[in-house]
Amino acid sequence: MKTVIDFKNSKQQGKKISMVTCYDFWSAKIIDESEIDAVLVGDSVAMVMHGFETTINAEIEMMCYHIAAVKRGLKDKLLIADLPFLAHKKGTKYLMEAIDKLMKAGAQAIKIEGADDNIELIQYIVRTGIPVMGHLGLTPQSVHQLGGYKLQGKNDKASNKLLDDAQKLEQAGCFSIVLEMLPFELSKKITEELSIPTIGIGAGPFTNGQILVLQDMLGLSKDFQPKFLRKYLNGYELILNSLNKFNDDVKNQIYPDLNESYL
Ligand SMILES: Nc1nc(=O)c2c([nH]1)NC[C@@H]1CN(c3ccc(C(=O)N[C@@H](CCC(=O)O)C(=O)O)cc3)CN21
Ligand SMILES: CC(C)C(=O)C(=O)O
Ligand SMILES: [Mg+2]
């Protein structure tokens, strides 16, 4: 998938959309050769790659370094980037400069968390010619208000608001919406009511696509095991074992041998 038009067409054609996050050049090259449809340089980069406790520490500059690295490895896929914490709350000039940097680094679309006060500015960004992806449910930039990384939309009031927000985001011009940590019946309903594709994470099987953090699905995030996460590789153990094997080989003078040496 190369453009946001392909994204919208997928929903019309009933084809599911697969996405992973990506933060660096080498994994971008592997993803580029895979059949994964699109890539998100998420603000989760602050947690996964830099060890911060929340996504609040993702800065424009941090995002841009990672977007540029990913872009150099990604020839053939749509690249979406998160708008980091508060970049849309410091005035239009700051926002447009931030988007300018993200797009020049290589993003083709921008993802923004939440609806409410964002509707008008999303309209403005879309009219400017920049594709915007929405993000509802568990919006990690609001973790301190939400009181943790929890399931959202649990009662009628909250689920009605989420459906209403999703419709507002579609009307504002979003080409797609991420639904994070919602009961599957709610994300099913939202998906049915919208004409733009929904991409789920912890939102059940009825969204138009799925996204996982690359390191999570590769099993590299050792202790991270939310219910929604399926690990496709035992990455942590495989890497740990390889490191220990190399260490053993060095200490026992098994590596390098003469075939790995020069005359
Ligand atoms: N590595 C990584 N993967 C992610 O998916 C991710 C991040 N980081 N950082 C930003 C947010 C935070 N996310 C999270 C974090 C924790 C849970 C979690 O603990 N879920 C449990 C408890 C749910 C509850 O209490 O309602 C679960 O079993 O789903 C879920 C999503 C998703 N995002
Ligand atoms: C989990 C996805 C949707 C995200 O926003 C991120 O990785 O930052
Ligand atoms: Mg994010």
ipTM value for the complex: 0.98
Using an 8 Å Cβ cutoff, are 89 and 116 in contact? no
**Residue with CA closest to ligand 2 atom 7:** 42
Residues 77 and 189 in one domain: yes
For residue 240, what are the domain limits?
235-263
Q: Is residue 43 marked as binding? A: yes
Residues 218, 240, single domain; the answer is no
The reply to whether omega before 256 is within 30° of 0 (cis) is yes
Q: Following DSSP, what letter does each residue of 9-46 receive, concatenated?
A: HHHHTT--EEEEE--SHHHHHHHHHSS--EEEE-TTHH
Given a cut of 90, whether residue 221 has pLDDT beyond it is no
Q: What is the pLDDT of residue 120?
A: 98
Q: Indicate whether 91 pLDDT > 90.
A: yes
Record the tokens describing residue 251, joined without a space. Answer: 């200490």
Residues 254 and 198 in one domain: no
* pLDDT at site 208: 98
Total structural domains in the chain?
2
Identify the bridge partners of residue 21 per DSSP, sorted by sequence position.
Answer: 40
pLDDT at res. 55: 98
Please tell me the total number of residues recorded for the chain in this structure.
263
**Residues recognised as catalytic:** 180
Do 12 and 34 share a domain, yes or no?
A: yes
Computed over every residue of the chain, the mean pLDDT equals 98
CATH number at residue 148: 3.20.20.60
Asked if 155 and 103 sit in the same domain, the reply is: yes
The pair of three-digit structure tokens given for residue 228, joined into one six-digit string:
């929604």
* Residues 100, 220 within the same domain: yes
Q: Are residues 182 and 58 in the same domain?
A: yes
Block residue for tokens 């994300």: 187
* Distance, CA of 220 to chain centre: 16
pLDDT at 224: 95
Q: Is 226 exposed, middle or buried (0-12, 13-18, 19+ CB in 10 A)?
A: exposed
C-alpha 53 to ligand 2 mean position (Å): 14
Mean pLDDT of the region 153-181 = 98
Count H helices and E strands in the chain, helices first: 11, 8
Is 97 flagged in the annotation as binding?
no
- Do 193 and 205 form a contact (C-beta atoms < 8 A)? no
Quote the pLDDT of residue 89: 97
Q: Is the C-alpha dihedral spanning 26, 227, 164, 208 positive or negative? A: positive
Assess whether 250 and 141 both reside in one domain. Answer: no
Are 30 and 150 part of one and the same domain?
yes
Handedness of CA 171, 172, 174, 175 (dihedral sign): positive
Tell me if the pTM is above 0.80: yes
Residue 70 pLDDT more than 90?
A: yes
Q: Does 215 have pLDDT greater than 90?
A: yes
First to last CA, the chain: 49
- As a whole number of angstroms, the distance between CA 207 and CA 201 comes to 9
pLDDT category of residue 231 using cuts at 50, 70 and 90: very high
> Atom 3, ligand 1: which residue's CA is nearest?
213
Q: What are the tens digits of pLDDT across the range 109-166?
A: 999 999 999 999 999 999 999 999 999 999 999 999 999 999 999 999 999 999 999 9
Q: Would you say the CB of residue 82 lies under 6 angstroms from ligand 2?
A: yes
Same domain, 100 and 185: yes
Average pLDDT over residues 177-193: 98
Atom of ligand 1 nearest to the CA of 151: 26
- Which atom of ligand 1 is least distant from the CA of 225? 28
Tokens coding 35 = 């059949």
**Same domain, yes or no, for 158 and 252?**
no
Taking 3-state DSSP, the helix, strand and coil percentages for the chain, each rounded to the nearest 5, stand at: 45, 15, 40
In angstroms, the CA 104 to CA 116 distance is: 28
Q: Are residues 174 and 247 in the same domain?
A: no
